[in-house]
Amino acid sequence: MDKPKDSYSQAFKQIAKIANSSLPLKKALNAMARSTAKALKAIGCSIMLLNPQKQYLEIIAAYGLSDLYLRKGAVNAHKSLPEILEGKAVALVDVSQDKQVQYPEAAEIEGISSILGAPLLQKGEVVGEIRVYTDGPRHFPQVEKDFLSTVANIVAITLEKNEFYQVLKAEHEETITKRRKLAETPKLPSSSLRPSRFGHPSEEEFARLLDFYRIEWLYEPRSFPLAWQGNKVSEMFTPDFYLPELDLYIELTTLKQSLITEKNRKVRRLKELYPEVNIKLLNKKDYLRLLAKYGYGPLGGTKVEGINRVLFSHTQIQRRTRALANHISRDYQGRRLVLVGILKGVVCFMADLMQHISLPLSIEFMAISYYGSNTEPAVKITKDLDTSITGLDVLMVEDIVDTGMTLNYILNHLSSHNPASLHVCTLLDKRARRLIDVPLDYIGFEIPDEFVVGYGLDYRGEYRNLPFIGALSPRLIEEEAGK
């Protein structure tokens, strides 16, 4: 029997040879996956790339895994072995007991007990992962982690030097640019974005609508077996979309009755076989209604006319808010905080932020009004703090800092009460318009010089209840000003 060291050096020899061969990329990667699995005496190996948003892993090559396992669904890189994203090899010893495993049933059917994963790094940045799967529980020793990390490096170099990968990367970048441009377009454009990717124009239209609202989506990420003949799957069903934020699969349909009946049958069967899966069969009217239920789209009850484009979706805001709260919790460890907010724009941000700060804290609200002229505006406090902040650690929470005049005034006011410390956390920073250089310690997003509404921010008292932050059309502001 080979000593492990011999099998590793043999595997390195093979993998390096493959890397230097003229094999097409996919074949080369599949062969590397095979050599890796064999050297580690594993039942399978997969090589995955992060999607352009760096959220999900897409399998690009594999060895030893069934088609069913490969199509089990998108792997969320932040939930499944998330430490790999920090750039290190990570082991999961008992798949059946670990909450990180996203598809425990699929792993069980496949007979997977343990997983070892390593990052594919390019210029220090994680672009994907390589994972091996074993059929018995295994505590992977350091030598195995080192072996997989080295293979990961060779895979990353192979990808980097491959023309096809370069094209793929360029396509990803182009898609992001196109998406960005699209999101900046006021109306949903009719030009086709990714004509070859979608099976039907209605799917493309739906994708555009989701892009406009910055709702994350995956196209056909998972196939569900619906029928078997003996051990073989005889019927599969691949829903059109998966919306991770809503944990919802969507199959689109037109009004053609023959199609509806067939799709209805498949959706019903899928629900019977996979009761935990949330799926809806929708036509255009249905999906507009569905989006409205979540506060999006033209049928939504909330006022959305006048919104030029969505800057940040609800999910993006939540993610950023959580990150800020973690940062604050770390910085103020062992201390007690007073969060001070100014009514009313800050209500949504304050409510979400404080829920994620893991420190003892209290909250205070102030209210202000503006007077004076456009050229010389002045601020007046109409509601002051309820309790003293003298000697306390105060964090001023702001929805948006624009010229900085309001914040400067409030900071002066709070400083006069001699707090132990005084810092600022703002969700939005409109730096381009800054007149007074106020220090900002925690910033959610920097935004361009545009008037934004939603998530607490208003225009003439409206739009506060939109779940996202959008830019208001300058035309609407001009028209209203002219009235």
Just list the catalytic residues: 402
Residue 469 interacting with ligand 5GP (CB under 6 A): no
Q: Least Å distance between CB 445 and ligand 5GP?
A: 12
**Whose Cβ is closer to ligand 5GP: residue 294's or residue 459's?**
459
Residue 452 interacting with ligand 5GP (CB under 6 A): yes
**Whose Cβ is closer to ligand 5GP: residue 98's or residue 458's?**
458
HSE (side-chain half, CA atoms, 13 Å) at 434: 17
Residue 304 interacting with ligand 5GP (CB under 6 A): no
Residue 402 interacting with ligand 5GP (CB under 6 A): yes
**Whose Cβ is closer to ligand 5GP: residue 203's or residue 402's?**
402
**Whose Cβ is closer to ligand 5GP: residue 188's or residue 367's?**
367
Q: Least Å distance between CB 438 and ligand 5GP?
A: 8
- Nearest in space to 152 (alpha carbons), one of 66, 271, 58, 33: 33
Q: Least Å distance between CB 372 and ligand 5GP?
A: 12
Q: Give 371's contacts (C-beta < 8 A, 6+ positions apart).
A: 377, 378, 380
**What phi and psi values does residue 430 have, to the nearest 5 degrees?**
-95, 70
**Pairing of β 125-134 and β 44-50:** antiparallel
Cα dist. 101→87, 116, 278, 302 in Å?
19, 13, 19, 38
| Among the listed residues 458, 465, 476, 477, the single contact to ligand 5GP using CB under 6 A | 458
Q: Least Å distance between CB 186 and ligand 5GP?
A: 17
**What phi and psi values does residue 62 have, to the nearest 5 degrees?**
-160, 165
Residue 345 interacting with ligand 5GP (CB under 6 A): yes
**Whose Cβ is closer to ligand 5GP: residue 110's or residue 364's?**
364
* Stretch of residues binding ligand 5GP (CB under 6 A), selected from 97-105, 202-210, 211-219, 394-402: 394-402
Buried residues in 340-375 as b, exposed as e (16+ CB within 10 A): bbbeebbebbbebbbeebebebeebbbebeeeeeee
3-state helix, strand, coil in the chain (%, to 5): 40, 25, 35
Residue 445 interacting with ligand 5GP (CB under 6 A): no
DSSP label of 473:
P
Residue 426 interacting with ligand 5GP (CB under 6 A): no
Applying the rule CB under 6 A, the residues between 267 and 296 that interact with ligand 5GP are none
Q: Least Å distance between CB 104 and ligand 5GP?
A: 45
As a whole number of angstroms, the distance between CA 238 and CA 148 comes to 33
Q: Decide: 466 and 454 in contact? Cβ < 8 Å.
A: yes
**Whose Cβ is closer to ligand 5GP: residue 37's or residue 453's?**
453
Count of CB atoms within 10 A of residue 92's CB? Answer: 22
Cα dist. 217→173, 208, 439 in Å?
17, 10, 37
Residue 95 interacting with ligand 5GP (CB under 6 A): no
Residue 473 interacting with ligand 5GP (CB under 6 A): no
Dihedral over alpha carbons 411, 415, 420, 422 (to 10 degrees)? 10
Residue 406 interacting with ligand 5GP (CB under 6 A): yes
* Stretch of residues binding ligand 5GP (CB under 6 A), selected from 29-37, 139-147, 204-212, 400-408: 400-408
Using a 10 angstrom Cβ sphere, with 0-12 exposed, 13-18 middle and 19 or more buried, the burial of residue 294 is middle
Q: Least Å distance between CB 308 and ligand 5GP?
A: 12
Residue 341 interacting with ligand 5GP (CB under 6 A): no
Query: For the packed helices 4-19 and 142-161, what is the interaxial angle rounded to 10 degrees?
Result: 10
Residue 400 interacting with ligand 5GP (CB under 6 A): yes
**Whose Cβ is closer to ligand 5GP: residue 144's or residue 402's?**
402
For ligand 5GP, the binding residues (CB under 6 A) are 345, 400-407, 430, 451-453, 457-459
